[in-house]
Structure 1
Amino acid sequence: MRTHWILLLALFVFAACQQPKQYVSNEGFVYGTVYHITYESEGGKDLQPEIEAVMNELNQSMSTFDSTSTISKVNRNEPTTLDPYFLTVFKRAQEISTITEGAFDMTVAPMVNVWGFGFKNKEQVTPELIDSLLALTGYQKVHIENGQLVKEHPNTMLDASAIAKGFACDLVADFLQQQGCENFMVEIGGEVVAHGQNAKGNAWSIGISNPNDHEFFTQQKLKAIVSLTDRALATSGNYRNFYVEDGVKYAHTIDPKTGYPVQHSLLSTTVLANDCMTADAFATSFMVSGLEKSIEIANQVDEIDVYFIYSDENGDYQTYVSPGFKKLLKKEYE
Structure 2
Amino acid sequence: MILINKTIILSLLMLINFFFKGKDQHQYTLHGYAQGTDYTIKYSADSAIVSGSEVDSILIQIDSSMSLYKPYSLISKFNTSTKSLSIDEHFRIVMNKSFEIYKDTKGKFDVTVAPLVQAWGFGPKPITLFPDSAKIKELLKDVGMNLLQLKGKELIKTRPGITIDLNGIAQGYSVDVVADYLLRKGVKSFVVEIGGEIRMKGTKPDGSVRRIGIEGPALNENTEPQIRHVISFNEGAVTTSGNYRKYLKTGGKKISHLINPKTGYPLDNQLISVTIYAKDAITADGYDNAVMAMDVEEALAFVSARKNMEAYIIYHRRDGSVTDTLTTGFRKMIVN
TM-score range, shorter chain: 0.7 to 0.9
Match of 1:41 in 2: 45
Gaps of 5+ in 1: none
After alignment, is 92-101 or 193-202 more displaced? 193-202
Cα deviations by residue, 1:269-304 (Å, 9 ceiling, x for unpaired): 000001100000111111222323322321332221
Are positions 1:329 and 2:330 aligned together? Answer: no
Cα drift, residue 15 of structure 1? 6.5
Q: CA separation in 1, counterparts of 2:75 and 2:228?
A: 36
Q: CA separation in 2, counterparts of 1:283 and 1:155?
A: 27
Q: CA separation in 2, counterparts of 1:97 and 1:111?
A: 17
Cα drift, residue 63 of structure 1? 1.3
| Secondary structure of the structure 1 residue equivalent to 2:40 | strand
Match of 2:207 in 1: 201
Q: CA separation in 1, counterparts of 2:114 and 2:204?
A: 38
**Contact map agreement 2:278 2:284 (CA 8 A) in 1:** yes
Which residue among 20, 30, 50 is the counterpart of 2:24? 20
Match of 2:103 in 1: 98
Letter in 2 for 1:50: E
Cα drift, residue 28 of structure 1? 1.2
| Secondary structure of the structure 2 residue equivalent to 1:327 | helix
**Contact map agreement 1:250 1:265 (CA 8 A) in 2:** no
Cα deviations by residue, 1:168-202 (Å, 9 ceiling, x for unpaired): 11111111111111110011111100000124422
Match of 2:197 in 1: 191
After alignment, is 63-72 or 181-190 more displaced? 63-72
Cα drift, residue 140 of structure 1? 1.1
Are positions 1:279 and 2:284 aligned together? Answer: yes
Q: Residues 249 and 319 from structure 1, CA distance in 2 versus in 1: closer, same or farther, beyond 3 angstroms? A: farther
Cα drift, residue 311 of structure 1? 1.1
Are positions 1:221 and 2:226 aligned together? Answer: yes
Q: CA separation in 2, counterparts of 1:12 and 1:203?
A: 27
Match of 2:120 in 1: 115
Q: CA separation in 2, counterparts of 1:276 and 1:19?
A: 30
Letter in 2 for 1:167: Y
**Contact map agreement 1:249 1:265 (CA 8 A) in 2:** no
Are positions 1:268 and 2:273 aligned together? Answer: yes
Are positions 1:314 and 2:319 aligned together? Answer: yes
**Contact map agreement 1:250 1:264 (CA 8 A) in 2:** no
Are positions 1:135 and 2:141 aligned together? Answer: yes
| Secondary structure of the structure 2 residue equivalent to 1:319 | strand
Cα deviations by residue, 1:110-164 (Å, 9 ceiling, x for unpaired): 20221225xx979642222011110111111111125311112112111111101
Cα drift, residue 319 of structure 1? 1.3
Match of 1:75 in 2: 79
Q: CA separation in 2, counterparts of 1:132 and 1:196?
A: 50
Cα drift, residue 81 of structure 1? 2.9
Q: CA separation in 2, counterparts of 1:249 and 1:125?
A: 15
Following superposition of structure 1 onto structure 2, how do residues 240-279 of structure 1 map, counting pairs within 5 Å? 240-241=245-246, 253-279=258-284
**Contact map agreement 2:240 2:288 (CA 8 A) in 1:** yes
Cα deviations by residue, 1:80-99 (Å, 9 ceiling, x for unpaired): 43211111100111111111
Letter in 2 for 1:261: P
Cα drift, residue 31 of structure 1? 0.5
Q: CA separation in 1, counterparts of 2:14 and 2:89?
A: 49
Letter in 1 for 2:60: N
RMSD: 2.9
Which residue among 176, 180, 190 is the counterpart of 2:186? 180
Letter in 1 for 2:19: F
**Contact map agreement 1:251 1:264 (CA 8 A) in 2:** no
Q: Residues 243 and 48 from structure 1, CA distance in 2 versus in 1: closer, same or farther, beyond 3 angstroms? A: closer
Q: CA separation in 1, counterparts of 2:227 and 2:203?
A: 22
**Contact map agreement 2:85 2:155 (CA 8 A) in 1:** no
> Sequence identity, in percent?
31
Q: CA separation in 2, counterparts of 1:232 and 1:298?
A: 15
Cα drift, residue 252 of structure 1? 5.9
Match of 1:164 in 2: 170
Cα drift, residue 241 of structure 1? 4.9
Q: CA separation in 2, counterparts of 1:214 and 1:99?
A: 36
Q: CA separation in 1, counterparts of 2:313 and 2:254?
A: 14
Cα drift, residue 53 of structure 1? 1.7
Q: CA separation in 2, counterparts of 1:249 and 1:324?
A: 32
TM-score scaled to structure 2, two decimals?
0.86
Cα drift, residue 307 of structure 1? 0.5
